[in-house]
Structure 1
Amino acid sequence: MLTIQALRAHLLASGIAGAVATSREANLRSYRLFAARDPRVLLGLDPRGEWPQRAVLALMAERCGVSGDPARCGGPDAIDPERTLAALDAFADRLGQAARLRSPVLFGTGHPHRLLGFHAALARGMAAAGCPVLTPARGVVLPLMTRFGLRAHHLDYVAGVALVREAGQTGAGRAPGRGQPAHSHSPRPVRTALAALAEAGGPLPALVVGDHGWVCGAGQLGIDAMGLADTDDPALFVGEAEGRISVVVPLDDAVHSDHYRPLVRHVLTRAGLSG
């Protein structure tokens, strides 16, 4: 495992924290849409409180380290690596607690091209610790909104981590339901997975670990949830502030997947899990 100093240096060098690729314009747009209760950025969360744009910006400055100046409207934005490190420790501590209790856990990602490896390593560690890693509703068809309109997807699992795939097509050597993994913000997959578990009589997860709609959708339903979020995903941080999400780790969620490996090792080691 890297020392804290080396891990901090890695966060900055990789762009996971420090100056990040998500622009100030993209951040402010997301905060404005969240304040307007746009479902595209709510990610399944129904905020209890009033969250005007200035309040969202203030929260994101506090939790992530973006500039809190509402007059700053352009250029790069940033994540404070100290906030990322502190949240990673809290994340690991909650994971370790679940491991010691051998709690059932559900992992899911809306960022399969970047974060699947991160979540898969944690799923392996939890399974090795004796935790049931749940995989409900595999193969269920889900209509999800995309930039091209409503499109059919399938719920699938890779190494114990849920994701959605574009609906596969027959012919040309492709089996039905084996389309490409898709980026998704939707809470519908986690709702579908939890409904399938409830209908089957459980067990329900004691913890949902993921990102995007997986975390917000679970937290909204009263399931303990935690995960990773970028500076343009205010819903997770609002959910944390309102007490419905346990831990949110601020980071750039779109760097190369290999760059998250040192974070995985840090979390596994602190949580007392095998890699």
Structure 2
Amino acid sequence: MKPAPTRAELRAHLVRTMIAGDVATPRQNNLLHYRRMANGNPYYQFGLELKPSWTERTVLEMMVERCGVDPDPRHLFGDDTIDPDITLDTLEAMGERIGLAARRQEDVVVATGHPATLTPLYQAVARALEGAGCRVLTPAAGWTYEIETGYGGSDLRRIVYAEPGVAMLEGDDHRTHHTHDPHPMEAMLRELASSVSESSVGAKPDFWPDLAIADHGWAGAAGQAGIDTVGFADCNDPALFAGAAEGKIDVVVPLDDGVSPHHYAPLTAYILDRAGLPAGPVPSG
């Protein structure tokens, strides 16, 4: 991996690659998701039990503050924005929390609902934490559940892990899949909760995450369970930002989570540098 960029260099990279700044996420899609989250649609709440007081207006106001979307409620169509300085501030906060995990040699879970784009970033962070003595937990490997695919069809999804321990979902087609679902993380935590030694009945689980590094429902379910959680979210995914506003998620980094994987390499180096961890090679996307 190349040396970590400076803040100014990374800011320029974020804007140039449209990870932040003017992004390709349609404004109408953002507003639709804000309304659905405010209306309590579970798919858009990512496993978080959010307060019922959210409205489409207050979600937009919160997303202006925490993500940097266009504040004009009359902006209904076209592309939207992510404030690159908020992205940088939260990347630094994420790096500091990951650095704390490394110094404490914490137990960590790492998971992504965006395996096609964010896996190399997560792998590099997980590998650096393992090198620092952290235990990257890999519970519930192979756990499956059924999803509806439309027109009365269904498919199975199973938890798989990319080395050294990044959870994601695989389908019957043996390909990894995008997901918003909290159910896989909930299954992982159920398995960990049952890891109590026979000699310590009533005690805490033998294995329990001190930190979750994740996105989408993986992050929402971890935060809802009371685990320190840092993660990434696009400007059309308001739930994690709302979770942060309610104190259930520690750090949410706003970014476009669908650009080419290699564009996230400078962010990876920046996070690891902030964490005080060595930047090894980043797996190719």
For Structure 1 versus Structure 2, the TM-score category normalised by the shorter chain is over 0.9
Could you give the per-residue CA deviations for residues 202-254 of structure 1, whole angstroms, max 9, x where no partner exists?
31100111100011011111111110000010000000000000000000000
* Residue equivalent to 1:198: 193
Counterpart contact for 1:99–1:131, Cα < 8 Å: yes
1:260 to 260, 264, 277: 264
Is residue 187 of structure 1 aligned with residue 182 of structure 2? yes
* Residue equivalent to 2:111: 108
SS in 2 for 1:248: strand
Is residue 249 of structure 1 aligned with residue 227 of structure 2? no
SS in 1 for 2:25: strand
SS in 2 for 1:274: coil
Distance in 2 separating the partners of 1:38 and 1:151: 22
Question: Structure 1 residue 125: deviation in Å?
Answer: 0.5
* Residue equivalent to 1:11: 14
Could you give the per-residue CA deviations for residues 40-81 of structure 1, whole angstroms, max 9, x where no partner exists?
111111102510000000000111111112111011100010
Is residue 75 of structure 1 aligned with residue 78 of structure 2? yes
1:225 to 220, 229, 232: 229
Distance in 2 separating the partners of 1:92 and 1:146: 37
User: Is there any run of 5+ residues in structure 2 with no aligned partner, and where?
Assistant: 197-205, 280-285
* Residue equivalent to 1:118: 121
Closer, same or farther in 2 for the Cα pair 1:29/1:140, shift >3 Å? same
SS in 2 for 1:253: coil
SS in 2 for 1:156: strand
Amino acid at match of 2:233: A
Distance in 1 separating the partners of 2:257 and 2:11: 16
SS in 1 for 2:23: strand
* Residue equivalent to 1:175: none
Closer, same or farther in 2 for the Cα pair 1:147/1:243, shift >3 Å? farther
Amino acid at match of 1:215: A
TM-score for the superposition, normalised by structure 1: 0.94
Counterpart contact for 1:136–1:197, Cα < 8 Å: yes
SS in 2 for 1:34: helix
Distance in 2 separating the partners of 1:29 and 1:60: 13
Amino acid at match of 1:185: H
Distance in 2 separating the partners of 1:97 and 1:244: 19
Amino acid at match of 1:105: V
Distance in 1 separating the partners of 2:84 and 2:238: 18
Question: Structure 1 residue 167: deviation in Å?
Answer: 2.3
1:28 to 27, 31, 34: 31
Counterpart contact for 1:109–1:210, Cα < 8 Å: yes
SS in 2 for 1:43: coil
* Residue equivalent to 1:176: none
* Residue equivalent to 2:283: none
Amino acid at match of 1:239: G
* Residue equivalent to 1:173: none
TM-score for the superposition, normalised by structure 2: 0.91
Amino acid at match of 1:216: G
Identity within the alignment, %: 45
Amino acid at match of 1:187: P
Closer, same or farther in 2 for the Cα pair 1:138/1:102, shift >3 Å? same
RMSD, aligned α-carbons: 1.1
How many residues matched? 265
Counterpart contact for 2:234–2:254, Cα < 8 Å: yes
Counterpart contact for 2:214–2:230, Cα < 8 Å: yes
Distance in 2 separating the partners of 1:73 and 1:151: 35
Distance in 2 separating the partners of 1:71 and 1:2: 37
* Residue equivalent to 2:282: none
Question: Structure 1 residue 147: deviation in Å?
Answer: 4.6
Question: Structure 1 residue 12: deviation in Å?
Answer: 0.4
